[in-house]
Each structure stands twice: as structure tokens, then as C-alpha cells.
Amino acid sequence: MVAEHVQSMTKPLSTDPSLDPEPREECGVFGVWAPGEEVSKLTYFGLFALQHRGQEAAGIAVGDDDRIVVFKDMGLVSNVFDESILTSLHGNVAVGHTRYSTAGGKEWSNVQPMFGTSPSGVDIALGHNGNLVNYQELRAEAVERGLIKPQEESVSDSMCLSILLADGVSEDRSVFDSALQLLPTVQGAYCLTFTDGHTLYAARDPHGVRPLALGRLNTGWVVASETCALDIVGAQFIREIEPGELVAIDETGIRSERFAETKRHGCVFEYVYLARPDTNIKGRSVNATRVEIGRRLARQYPAPDADMVIPVPESGNPAAVGYARESGLTFAHGLVKNSYVGRTFIQPTQSQRQMGIRLKLNPLREVIEGKSIVVVDDSIVRGNTQRALIRMLREAGAAEVHVRIASPPVKWPCFYGIDFASPGELIANANPSDDPEEVAQTICTAIGADSLGFVSTDEMVAATQQPRNELCCACFDGEYPLGLPAGNPNAEAVRTLQGSTTN
């Protein structure tokens, strides 16, 4: 098979460090096997539905049995692809990826799908959502095999996976067999879509940390990080790819095999923030979960003397609806969001810091002036955004600002696919107390709210309708079901904190 890369390179994007970045979801993956269809365009629309999972880069690989063509670049899906590019990508199978980086830097070389060629000449394109815990071990194996040089520092965990997968393919071992051999040795969170130009493959880690759905087209099959991507391409949801399952799809149908025992530790933050509201995870509507969290939050932390409930758009909307319904308070849109603000190269001066939040959100004075308001948001990480937002609301005339958060305090970093801050940067760790009320009061004072309430972990989990032992809540409770990665500074900080807590 002849592989062809179509590449363009742009300057990596930068962020404004003065603001409190929202949690970054890392990646979304998409794959389609549909002979006779424009698989590149189906993938393009699928990635559009998954754009919220990563806005840093996007790529599509298309195979037609003879070659794999990969086109990828930094930027949003709509910036990377146009009609002429998509029309030039012909084939029966495609995999796509939209990315935000943590493992591996923001260099173009880390944009996915990754591409590799086996010693027997089989080409593979691969997309990965998640983070690997034993990346260092896998990298050492790749170095030992001579697949990468010891001094190569820019090899991401996704790149390492693709290299090892391709190297395992030979005249006597298929891509499917190579994956069955490799995946049991991989530890961490991963949803994979990959192709050899003929067959579409998908795999999910044994814990099922990230969602991965299977859908049926009239002429083929689709796999995607979220069910909303199936909806946009007109695919019927069939089922989720099971944790520890490897699937292959071609003209003979679907072949499935388990490579590991299912353990189930789905990320609870998918329900809270990461997934789109119109997605379903394990049979539970994300929107319904968020509305229910809002209801439970209202029961835990009512604000009976408030005049209205307003959300921090867009992620706070469903929880704010639930809070208003349960409390009987008026629901209102008191903040206007600018949907066209991306990341900017222009860094504000110290006197312009407030401009950063105003670029994204601006208060409606006629709605909030003179009112006591409940502001519902999905989470607090560093607290900088909430501090700036509360100041802005008071300047617009709000009499009182009561903040309610639809998740517990984020106290621990994530190593399974979300880019949270280090433990020392998380505002919830400003008070080391084990008393949630004391922690909330410290944060309340720091951000300048009149009151602050977080939904409890138990209430959040109950809203998902999933068993507690089948969810990962590590960012809230510090219990890491997949373990901690070696050689990671944040992981070492966590080990130190856990050790001091144990002692």
C-alpha cells in the first residue's frame, strides 16, 4: 500500500495565561466504513459534532485499499478543511480526530491521526482519545525495538501507540492480531479508531473511561466518541463499544473480541461538563443528568431570598434549569456569550485583564441590576474566571451574587484525558481542611461571592444513575482506579499529598 500525506503547517496556538482556562477535554475520535459514500465528508461532519472535545487541531485519514491519505493541521475543523480538500479525499474508510494536547506538546507532529507503516508494508492511521499511564514503559519498548531514538522527546503517547501497533503487523500477523497483542499491555484511558485503508478498527480501554459509540448507516458503520456525532451523520445508535473490546468492520461485517476483562470506571466529568448535552452515555442522557444535578444542588444549597437563577453559558445551562425548577426561582439569561471567541495571540496588559472575560461573557444589566442572583456554573478550577465574573456582575448592578457549582470542588489533577491544573494551582486546595463547608467558604471569600455551594459527590453520582463503583471521580476524591503515571510531576505531587494524608 502506498501512503500519501497531505500536510500543511501553521503556527501553534497560544492561550491567555491571565484567564482561568476551562477543563480541556483532550480529543474526539470518529471512524466510518461506508463503501460508496463520501466518507471524508461524513468524518468532517462527525468531527464538527465533536469539536467541543478539542479545538487545537483536526485531521482525517481516508483509505481506499491502495493507499491512505492523511490531511491534518492546527486549528478548528472548519479552518483545516474545505470543500476542495474533502473532495480530494477518496475512499471507503476514514478515521478522524479533533485534539487538545496534554501528552505531547502543541507541535504539528502531534496532530492526529497518527500514521505508521509496518515492516511488511501495511500502513496504519490511528486516532486516540485519552492518556496512557504506562507511556514511559511503552516508549522504552519502542526505543528497545529501534522504532524511535532515545533522544526523541516529542513522541506522544498516541504516536507511541501507533508505532508499536504498526510494528506488530507482519506477513503472519494481521492488524487485528497486532492490536490484540498490544492492547493488553497498554494501561490508562484510551478510545481508538484506526484503519489499514481497508478495515475500520475501534478499541476501548478495559475501564471504559471515555465513551465510544457504535452506529449503523444504510451503507456502513460509524464509531464516535459521542452519540451526538452519530446523530449528525444520520447513523442509528446500536450500542457502546464495550470496555476491553476490539472491533473490526469491513465487507464481511463486524468482528469483535475481548482483549481484557471489563472493569468499568467511566469518567463522571463526562456527565458534568465534557460531553455535549445531546449525548447519551451508558443509556443516560447527559442533559437529563445535568438538570438533575441542578435539582439536587438546589436541595443541598437553596437560596430562598434570591430573585432569579442565571447560568454561565453554555455548560451551566442545564444545571441552572434544574436549580430553577427545584427552587421555584425564575430562570433568566443574564450573561451573553460570544460564540466566536477562540484563543488569541494578543495578550492583554495588566490593566486589560478584565477584557479577557468580557470577550467571552458580558452581563445584561437590565436583567440583573438590583437583583439577588444565583449563578450556576459547571465547575471551579483555579477560580480566576469566577472571580472576574462576579466582579463584572457587581459592576453591572447585581445586589447579591450567590454561586452554585454543579460538581464538587476539583482537588486533584486528571491523568486520564482532561487537562486540569497541578494540585497547587487548584483553588480547592487553598484550604487543606477535610470539611467541605470550610473549603467552600475559603473559595467563596477568594472569588468574592455572597455565598457558594458545591453539589456533593454522592448527589452528583446519583444524578448519573450509574453505580458509584463504576465511575471514576478521581479529580474530586483523589482515588485513581487506573493508577498514576511514572515520571509525571503532577503525579509525583499527588503521591506526596496522598502519602501525607495517609500518614
**Cβ–Cβ under 8 Å, residues 147 and 166:** no
Q: Do residue 260 and residue 292 come from a single domain? A: no
Q: What is the CATH number of the domain that holds 185?
A: 3.60.20.10
Q: Do residue 248 and residue 296 come from a single domain? A: no
**Cβ–Cβ under 8 Å, residues 94 and 40:** yes
Helices (H) and strands (E) in the chain, counts: 17, 25
**Angle at 273 (CA atoms; ends 271, 279), nearest 5 degrees:** 55
Q: Residue 434: its pLDDT value, please? A: 85
> Distance between CA 408 and CA 428 in Å, rounded?
10
Q: Is the pLDDT of residue 98 over 60?
A: yes
339 is in an annotated binding site: no
65 is in an annotated binding site: no
228 is in an annotated binding site: no
Task: Read off the pLDDT band of 352 (50, 70, 90).
Answer: low
E strand or H helix that includes residue 403: strand 400-405
191 is in an annotated binding site: no
> Distance between CA 6 and CA 278 in Å, rounded?
34
Q: Residue 10: its pLDDT value, please? A: 35
Closest CA to 175 of 241, 121, 107: 121
The whole-number average pLDDT for the span 69-88 is 94
| Digit-coded pLDDT (tens) for 144-180 | 999 999 888 778 899 999 999 999 999 999 999 999 9
Q: Is the pLDDT of residue 295 over 80?
A: yes
Q: Is residue 159 part of a domain?
A: yes
| Digit-coded pLDDT (tens) for 430-477 | 998 889 899 999 999 999 999 999 999 999 999 999 999 999 999 999
473 is in an annotated binding site: no
Q: Do residue 257 and residue 367 come from a single domain? A: no
Among candidate residues 27, 191, 228, 473, the one labeled active-site is: 27
E strand or H helix that includes residue 472: strand 471-472
Q: Do residue 327 and residue 205 come from a single domain? A: no
> Distance between CA 86 and CA 81 in Å, rounded?
7
Q: Do residue 200 and residue 295 come from a single domain? A: no
Residue scoring higher pLDDT (487 or 233): 233
Q: Is residue 18 part of a domain?
A: no
Q: Do residue 149 and residue 231 come from a single domain? A: yes
Q: Do residue 249 and residue 318 come from a single domain? A: no
Least confident of 264-268, 391-395, 458-462, 499-503: 499-503
The whole-number average pLDDT for the span 176-194 is 97
| Digit-coded pLDDT (tens) for 11-49 | 333 334 334 445 544 699 999 999 999 999 999 999 999
Last residue of a domain, one of 232, 249, 264: 264
Share above pLDDT 70 across residues of the chain, in percent, rounded to a whole number: 89
* Residue 27 bears catalytic tag: yes
Q: What is the CATH number of the domain that holds 430?
A: 3.40.50.2020
Number of domains in the chain: 2
Q: Is residue 150 part of a domain?
A: yes
> Distance between CA 451 and CA 282 in Å, rounded?
35
Q: Residue 420: its pLDDT value, please? A: 75
Task: Read off the pLDDT band of 142 (50, 70, 90).
Answer: very high
The pTM assigned to this predicted structure is 0.91
Least confident of 58-72, 99-113, 208-222, 372-386: 99-113
> Distance between CA 342 and CA 76 in Å, rounded?
9
Q: Do residue 77 and residue 167 come from a single domain? A: yes
Q: Is residue 41 part of a domain?
A: yes
Task: Read off the pLDDT band of 117 (50, 70, 90).
Answer: very high
* Residue numbers of the domain that contains 300: 288-338+353-466
Q: Do residue 37 and residue 126 come from a single domain? A: yes
Q: Is residue 439 part of a domain?
A: yes
For 425, counting Cβ atoms within 10 Å of its Cβ (0-12 exposed, 13-18 middle, 19+ buried), the class is middle
Crossing angle of helices 353-360 and 384-395, rounded to 10°: 80
Q: Is residue 358 part of a domain?
A: yes
Q: Do residue 215 and residue 358 come from a single domain? A: no
Length of the chain: 503
Share above pLDDT 90 across residues of the chain, in percent, rounded to a whole number: 77
Q: Do residue 87 and residue 171 come from a single domain? A: yes
Q: Is residue 473 part of a domain?
A: no
In terms of DSSP H, where are the helices of 108-226? Answer: 135-144, 157-167, 175-182
| Digit-coded pLDDT (tens) for 465-476 | 999 999 999 999
Crossing angle of helices 157-167 and 175-182, rounded to 10°: 130
Residue scoring higher pLDDT (236 or 108): 236
Q: Is the pLDDT of residue 105 over 70?
A: no
Beta strands in 2-100 (DSSP E): 2-7, 27-33, 57-63, 67-74, 93-99
Q: Is residue 186 part of a domain?
A: yes
- In three-state secondary structure terms, 477 is helix
Q: Do residue 137 and residue 245 come from a single domain? A: yes
